[in-house]
């Protein structure tokens, strides 16, 4: 369930709450993607991309995109099962190569919601949960069987074990009855965090409950990484966390009689001791009960506290017990707003409350329901489709308030209809995707007072875009990937981070070129499109201004892709080669590339680098600098000092450049 749309007052979400979620998402997404790193080569069946969860700042959770690990599994093998099952096989190993036994392996559907919507779901206690979990055997091997509903879904595969960093790989969707052999999965190294919990006078607090998560995993239901405290402080107030890798992490500490302390965006380093001091101010708890509109108690409701003091970003959280009662600990001595939510109910909030308050009553109204009928253009009900509910797509923040997509299967359809629950009062719209049909939106509709609303969506067959891709010499390019996008879309890896913050009214489809270089994208929603064409080891190219009509076929002019130029070089400072720096190359004037399209590559210990893709003819700027998460100004100064522009000529095959900056 999501917060109510903007057209009515929403007590559960004020502007400060919104900024608490939005600003970290935006700031860190930009930090992650400036300059952009190239996304993995797309494909129907692609190898997993391993990533140490803590290796990058938060975006996913808020939605971090983890850094790619150095050791990626090889090309997976795909085998069809004989018993109708499907799943993933592999072996877990440490960063040093030894086999790891008893590693927890969990598969979670990759979130398709915006970071804001995912965070709002989390505040309601709804988090993406594993669809399957297992442990590796004594020889490190594992076989993770996935339920039928997981087929066709992009998955996050998590590996969890203390003394090794929580590690995640993105796994492209499996076909039904497919068992995929992933080979060796290498867990990233962990770097211990030693800390101390003290009170306002600096005295140690024994028995404090400390929770730590990688920023990337904070919005997932990870086994052994739940709401319960991971460690407790000893008699000297000290503690140690042993499952975090390099990068941005989140910490929280609580103790009886004290206010909760939270620290987000805390860097864990691999080259220096990680030490953390958590200070707990005096505080207490508030008690109350959660009931429905008829006065019946609600068990399992999520209750969250938000301080009236803007500087206090702690968010104490609890759940109501079997009798609807709750005790929210960790409040300081200021004023707090308490919010409660539960499945099937709308969110409600108290007025200002303080630590020590008793008898608080949070009354939750029931959510509205929508009875949905999806038909083809002949009026025949469809039995399989995916539906996403959000405010009307004309609202700029529509994607932020989206509910989680619901995959409807034939056994869930009754008399041609499916019932959706969880609607707050307001204006909504449904997005429907069905096999062999075009993306279709319902007309906007109103819901209020827990009523049942009838909605019918007649999906369209859509149109198509087809064409051919050749190289500069006229030879067919097989295996290129072609993606459809809204015309004028500012593509790039930064754009991909914000994809889930947008609602597209055209289809985002993908196809590969065959042996003759031909491709066809079918069942596209009518509208104005551009295509992005990706070829292995080359920069993408774009085709703009394509119109798709219902039932029509749009033929694209033959696309000729230049082989491009391999760019290598050295980064130097006044004392010699510069190690452990990153090189950024930006497109200044390169044909159809979006302005500012960027590539990033790390230099080695000798300051040498080679860009991961060949550059097309055009004008570029290269710059280099140290990665300094705690000193962005110095990062900018490095790039400015080393900036060098250069031109790639047609048919140019190689270029060597040298970048210099003052250390």
pLDDT interval class at 463 (50, 70, 90): very high
Its domain, for residue 615, covers 566-660
Whether residue 35 lies inside any domain: the answer is yes
Mark whether 130 and 93 lie in a shared domain. yes
Show the tokens assigned to 302: 């999520």
Please indicate whether residue 496 or residue 390 has the higher confidence score (pLDDT). 390
What is the 8-class DSSP label of residue 126? -
Is the residue at 247 inside a domain? Answer: no
Which residues does residue 309 pair with via DSSP β-bridges, in sequence order? Answer: none
Q: Tell me whether residue 532 is in a domain.
A: yes
Provide the Cα torsion 258, 259, 264, 266; round to 10°: -30
How high is the pLDDT of residue 213?
A: 84
Q: DSSP per residue over 456-524, as a string? A: EEE----EEEEEEEEETTS-B--S-EEEEEETT---SHHHHHTGGG---SS---EEE--TTSEEEEEEE
- Predicted confidence (pLDDT) at residue 109 exceeds the cutoff of 90: no
Q: Indicate if the pLDDT at residue 124 is higher than 90.
A: no
The answer to whether the CB of 620 falls within 8 A of the CB of 596 is no
b/e per residue 129-150 (b: at least 16 CB within 10 A): ebbbbbebeeebebebbbeeeb
CATH of the domain at 314: 2.60.40.1120
Q: Are residues 360 and 375 in the same domain?
A: no
- In this structure, are 58 and 160 located in the same domain? yes
- Does 79 have pLDDT greater than 70? no
Instruction: Report the mean per-residue pLDDT for the chain.
Output: 82
More confident residue, 73 or 236: 236
Is 205 a member of any domain?
no
Residue 578 near residue 624, CB atoms below 8 Å: yes
Do both 572 and 557 map to the same domain?
A: no
CATH classification of the domain holding 545 = 2.60.40.10
pLDDT at 151: 77
Instruction: Give the span between the Cα atoms of 501 and 117, in whole angstroms.
Output: 9
Is a pLDDT exceeding 50 seen at residue 378?
Answer: yes
Calculate mean pLDDT across residues 147-153: 81
Cβ neighbours of residue 90 closer than 8 Å, sequence gap 6 or more = 73, 141, 142, 181, 182, 183, 184, 185
- The mean pLDDT value for 1-24 works out to 42
Domain boundary among 186, 211, 239: 186
The span from the CA of 94 to the CA of 76, in Å, is 19
> 154 or 496: which carries more pLDDT confidence?
154
Residue 225 Cα to chain centre, angstroms = 18
Q: CATH number of the domain that 644 lies in?
A: 2.60.40.180
**435 and 483 together in one domain:** no
Q: Give me the percent of the chain exceeding a pLDDT of 90.
A: 50
CA neighbor of 430 nearest in space, from 405, 448, 466: 405
Whether 276 maps to a domain, the answer reads: no
- Indicate if the pLDDT at residue 122 is higher than 80: no
**pLDDT, position 563:** 85
Q: In this model, does residue 516 exceed pLDDT 90?
A: yes
- Same domain flag for 19 and 138: yes
Determine the pLDDT at residue 434: 94
Q: Let me know if residue 24 belongs to a domain.
A: yes
The domain that contains 37 carries what CATH number? Answer: 2.60.40.2190
pLDDT of residue 195: 94
| Overall average pLDDT of the 287-300 stretch | 94
Tokens of 322: 């079997």
- Neighbour-count burial of 94, counting CB atoms closer than 10 A to its CB (0-12 exposed, 13-18 middle, 19+ buried): middle
Q: Please provide residue 565's backbone torsions phi and psi, each rounded to the nearest 5 degrees.
A: -120, 130
Contact 425, 346 (CB under 8 A): yes
Q: Is the pLDDT of residue 199 over 60?
A: yes
Residue 529's pLDDT is what? 96
Domain check: are 492 and 597 in the same one?
no
Is residue 573 very low, low, confident or very high in pLDDT (cuts 50, 70, 90)?
Answer: confident
Residue 237 in domain: no
159 plus 24 within the same structural domain: yes
Total domains present in the chain: 5
Both tokens of 250, joined, read: 């989140």
Mean pLDDT of 297-319: 90
Looking at the fold, whether 381 and 516 belong to one and the same domain comes out as no
CB atoms within 10 A of CB 642: 23
The model carries a pTM of: 0.68
User: Is residue 571 domain-resident?
Assistant: yes
pLDDT digits (tens, 9 = 90+) for 491-513: 654 455 567 678 899 999 999 99
Cβ-contact 168, 200 below 8 angstroms: no
Write out pLDDT tens, residues 358-369: 999 999 999 899
The whole-number average pLDDT for the span 156-184 is 88
Give yes or no: residues 375 and 508 share one domain. no
Are both 416 and 299 inside the same structural domain? no
Model pLDDT, residue 472: 86
pLDDT at 71: 34
Which of 561, 586, 609 marks a domain boundary? 561
From the list 385, 650, 639, the residue with the least C-alpha distance to 523 is: 385
Per residue, what are the HEC states of 163-203?
CEEEEEEEECCCCCCEEEEEEEEECCECCCEEEEEEECCCC
Least confident of 161-175, 323-337, 421-435: 161-175
Per-residue pLDDT band for 264 (boundaries 50, 70, 90) equals confident
Specify whether 472 is located in the same domain as 587: no
Is there a contact between 38 and 534 (Cβ–Cβ < 8 Å)? no
Mean pLDDT of 623-630: 76
- pLDDT at residue 125, rounded to an integer: 65
Domain boundary among 345, 364, 383: 364
pLDDT band at 114 (very low <50, low <70, confident <90, very high): low
């Amino acid at each position: 369930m999501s917060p109510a749309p903007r057209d009515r007052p929403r007590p559960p979400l004020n502007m400060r709450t919104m900024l608490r979620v939005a600003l970290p998402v935006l700031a860190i997404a930009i930090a992650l993607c400036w300059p952009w790193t190239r996304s993995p080569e797309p494909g129907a069946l692609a190898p997993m991309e391993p990533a140490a969860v803590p290796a990058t700042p938060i975006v996913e959770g808020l939605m971090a995109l983890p850094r790619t690990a150095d050791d990626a599994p090889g090309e997976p093998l795909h085998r069809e099962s004989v018993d109708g099952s499907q799943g993933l096989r592999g072996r877990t190993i440490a960063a040093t190569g030894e086999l790891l036994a008893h590693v927890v392996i969990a598969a979670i559907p990759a979130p398709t919601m915006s970071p804001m919507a995912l965070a709002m779901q989390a505040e309601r206690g709804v988090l993406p949960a594993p669809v399957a979990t297992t442990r590796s055997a004594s020889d490190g091997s594992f076989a993770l069987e996935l339920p039928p509903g997981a087929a066709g879904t992009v998955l996050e595969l998590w590996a969890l074990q203390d003394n090794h960093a929580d590690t995640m790989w993105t796994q492209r969707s499996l076909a039904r009855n497919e068992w995929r052999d992933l080979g060796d999965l290498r867990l990233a190294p962990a770097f211990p965090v030693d800390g101390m919990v003290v009170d306002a006078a600096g005295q140690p607090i024994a028995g404090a409950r400390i929770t730590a998560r990688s920023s990337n995993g904070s919005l997932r239901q990870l086994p052994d990484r739940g709401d319960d405290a991971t460690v407790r402080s000893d008699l000297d107030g000290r503690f140690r966390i042993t499952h975090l890798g390099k990068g941005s992490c989140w910490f929280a500490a609580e103790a009886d009689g004290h206010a909760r302390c939270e620290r987000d965006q805390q860097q864990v380093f691999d080259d220096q001791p990680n030490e953390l001091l958590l200070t707990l101010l005096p505080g207490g708890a508030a008690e109350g009960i959660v009931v429905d509109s008829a006065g019946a108690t609600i068990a399992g409701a999520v209750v969250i506290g938000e301080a009236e003091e803007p500087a206090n970003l702690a968010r104490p959280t609890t759940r109501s017990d079997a009798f609807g009662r709750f005790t929210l600990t960790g409040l300081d001595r200021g004023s707090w707003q308490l919010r409660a939510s539960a499945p099937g109910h709308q969110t409600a909030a108290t007025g200002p409350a303080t630590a020590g308050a008793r008898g608080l009553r949070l009354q939750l109204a029931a959510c509205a329901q929508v009875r949905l009928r999806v038909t083809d253009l002949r009026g025949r009900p469809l039995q399989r489709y995916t539906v996403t509910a959000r405010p009307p797509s004309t609202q700029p923040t529509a994607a932020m308030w989206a509910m989680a997509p619901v995959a409807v299967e034939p056994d869930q359809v009754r008399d041609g209809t499916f019932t959706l629950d969880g609607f707050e009062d307001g204006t909504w719209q449904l997005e429907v995707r069905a096999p062999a049909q075009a993306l279709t939106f319902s007309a906007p509709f109103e819901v209020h007072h827990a009523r049942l609303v009838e909605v019918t969506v007649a999906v369209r067959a859509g149109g198509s875009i087809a064409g051919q891709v050749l190289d500069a010499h006229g030879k067919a390019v097989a295996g290129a990937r072609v993606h459809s996008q809204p015309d004028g879309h500012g593509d790039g890896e930064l754009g991909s981070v914000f994809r889930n913050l947008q609602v597209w009214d055209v289809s985002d489809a993908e196809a590969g070129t065959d042996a003759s270089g031909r491709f066809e994208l079918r069942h596209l929603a009518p509208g104005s499109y551009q295509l992005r064409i990706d070829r292995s080891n080359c920069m993408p190219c774009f085709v703009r201004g394509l119109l798709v009509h219902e039932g029509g076929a749009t033929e694209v002019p033959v696309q000729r892709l230049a082989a491009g130029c391999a760019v290598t070089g050295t980064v130097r400072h006044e004392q010699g080669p510069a190690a452990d720096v990153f090189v950024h190359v930006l497109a200044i004037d390169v044909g159809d590339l979006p302005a500012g399209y960027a590539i990033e590559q790390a230099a080695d210990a000798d300051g040498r680098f080679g860009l991961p893709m060949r550059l097309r003819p055009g004008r570029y700027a290269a710059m280099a600098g140290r990665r300094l998460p705690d000193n962005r100004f110095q990062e900018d100064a490095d790039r400015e000092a080393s900036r060098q522009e250069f031109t790639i000529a047609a048919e140019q095959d190689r270029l060597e450049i040298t970048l210099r900056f003052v250390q």
